[in-house]
Amino acid sequence: MTVAENFSEKDRKQRLLFSPWREVVTEQMACYYPSNERIHGMDHVKSAERLVLEIAREPEYSSLDLDLTALSVAALLHDAGFSQRKVDWSEDKREHVHESMRIANEILLRIPGFAEDPQRLKQVLYLVLNHDNTNYLFPSKGRGGSPAITRGWVKEAEQEMDSDPRSKAMLAVIKEADSRLGTGADGAKRTFDFNLEQSLPLFARGDPLRAWMWGESIVGSVRLAAKRALLDARTATGKKIAWQGYLEAEELIRKECERNAVPYHPELGLETLELIEHEYFSDDLEITKVHPWEELEGALRRVKLNGDPTLFPYAAARIESKVLSIDEIAPLSLYALAGQIDLHEKLRKLFLANYALDFLDLSGTIEFRMGGKNFVISPPTVEVSGPDGNRCLLIDGLHRFLLTDKLGISRARTVVVSDVPDRFPLIPLPLRWEEVTIHEGVPPEMDKRRFRFPDLQSFPDISGFSQVPVTEENCRYFFYRDYSPLGSSGIREPGKKD
């Protein structure tokens, strides 16, 4: 028997199961999908059912004898919980998942084909529970920048039936189907309308098109929905459709930018999103919190001087988010660490594979966990230095800009700080990029930078604004900006390798 004949026989068997359960489920669905529910209503779940049956027939799954009835039921009931919305639900409506499971359980226990087959019922509930996992791993502004679920939660929930290849495949099918409906021209409009109903701002602060967490802006959520589809696509056909859907979602965003006189720019990692390298997917990397632009800006205004912590050089500065090329800025360090460039390259691949996010396109601060350790990272920072002819000098982010050069991108989203009082000069003098050399470890102190004030005799009189005594020990780093709250590793000790 050929594969096609075998699959036709499976279809015939599945159709025998359709009629008895479908009548009950269809009748009950009217109670949970009211006619005025446009976003998560009857049209959506029927489209999801159509897609799961299409995807299940793709070559990647056609030989696995998937339970099409369980897939159909899960697709039809996966969003029933939205009908139970309560005023105390979170903004991201994570609660709908368990409500959908409860409703599915109640309905299916009335149908002999499920009531008498606990394993099949369990399969449907498993699919409903986990269909939105990719969605809820993205942070949400409504949760203070944290995700609704953790990688650990997902691993535990999905492991329940992880030993069964068919269950894993069925979960992949329903995730791909549901996420596909949130992208493309129609899906992007659906996402747009849903977020509009939540009274979100159209654009984000800092970078108007920023897309790092749900609920920050409407266009950001449209981008995240398209990213979710890229991440959930597992079939060859699905990957092509998800990429086309991403481009169509971007076209909606471009038109909104044009309509609102906001400059449009594609994401910096665009060239890598078409072919996300799933082999870099890792349970080891997890975004635990995202701080939006306003929090990053506030943290920068609280940056202190190393020599006198009562002085805040950026308190009244102008702070902006811009995409800068490496040629527009000057480095301040004579050295860079090979290991740090390699680490940042690995991190970029991991963020793209796990979140479809490019951390070279960052306009806020993120906290993430990897290898059992917690990390904080902010965008590179450039200061427009008055004492240096208003040149753009790279304060933080040297290794990321060197990475952009290595990758041939040569640009990164950067925080630009200007209008800093001239009485707070930077500790080093500007350099040329060809003066920066790669080291395995931190070189001796005087080989790290060209210090503006290498000794006490060269240090200016600061008695007009600081009463801290200046000594040979603190003069070189007196004006050092303390970026440690933003994730900077601070002043590296000579000889250290990291």
Residue 498 binned pLDDT confidence (cut-offs 50, 70, 90): low
- State the Cα–Cα distance between residues 172 and 319, nearest whole angstrom: 43
Half-sphere exposure of 45 (CA within 13 A, CB side): 27
Same fold, 3-278 and 285-486: no
Tokens found for residue 412: 């990164």
Q: Is 17 a residue whose pLDDT tops 50?
A: no
- pLDDT exceeds 60 at position 130: yes
Cβ–Cβ < 8 Å for 319, 416: yes
| 13, pLDDT greater than 50 | no
The mean pLDDT of 61-71, rounded to a whole number, is: 92
- In tens, the pLDDT along 431-468 reads 999 999 999 999 998 999 999 999 999 999 999 999 99
Region label for 140, one of left (φ > 0), alpha (ψ between -120 and 50) or beta (otherwise): beta
- How far is it, in rounded angstroms, from Cα 343 to Cα 13? 53
Q: Which of 150, 100, 148 is nearest to 125 (CA)?
A: 100
More confident residue, 486 or 218: 218
Amino acid (1-letter code) at residue 482: D
The span from the CA of 173 to the CA of 183, in Å, is 16
Residue 5 has pLDDT above 60, yes or no: no
For the segment 465-480, what is each residue's pLDDT rounded down to a tens digit? Answer: 999 999 999 999 999 9
Predicted confidence band of residue 275 (pLDDT cuts 50, 70, 90): confident
- Greater pLDDT, 160 or 273: 273
* Total number of residues shown for the chain: 498
Output the pLDDT for position 420. Answer: 98
The tens digit of pLDDT for each residue in 151-173 reads 999 989 988 776 788 999 999 99
Q: Which residue has the tokens 């609280």?
A: 302
User: Six-digit token pair at 24?
Assistant: 């009950």
Structure tokens at 381: 């920072």
Query: If residue 176 lies in a helix (H) or strand (E), which one and from where to where?
Result: helix 165-180
Q: What is the pLDDT of residue 274?
A: 83
Using 50, 70 and 90 to split pLDDT, how confident is the model at 91? confident
Give the largest CA-CA distance in the chain: 92
Q: Which residues does residue 375 pair with via DSSP β-bridges, in sequence order?
A: 368
- Structure tokens that stand for 85 in this block: 């919305």
- Evaluate whether 378 touches 298 at the Cβ level (below 8 Å): no
Q: Is the pLDDT of residue 58 over 70?
A: yes
Strand order in the sheet with 365-370: 285-291, 365-370, 373-377
**In which band, very low, low, confident or very high, does the pLDDT at 320 lie, cut at 50, 70 and 90?**
very high
pLDDT band at 40 (very low <50, low <70, confident <90, very high): confident
Q: Amino acid identity, residue 218?
A: I
Any idea which fold 3-278 has?
Hypothetical protein af1432 (1.10.3210)
- pLDDT of res. 19: 57
Q: What is the predicted pLDDT for the residue at 6?
A: 45
Topology adopted by domain 285-486: 3.90.1530
Q: What band does 8 get if pLDDT is binned at 50, 70 and 90? A: low
CB-count burial class (<10 Å; 0-12, 13-18, 19+) for 57? middle
Closest by CA position to 399, among listed 331, 351, 306, 449: 331
Q: Summarize pLDDT for 337-354 with one digit per residue, the tens.
A: 999 999 999 999 999 999
- DSSP secondary structure letters along 97-118: HHHHHHHHHHHHTTSHHHHT-H
Q: Which two tokens stand for residue 356?
A: 């479809």
Tell how far CA 135 is from the center of its chain.
10
What sign has the CA pseudo-torsion 310, 315, 317, 319? Answer: positive
β-bridge mates for residue 368, sequence order: 287, 375
Sequence ranges of the domains in the chain: 3-278, 285-486
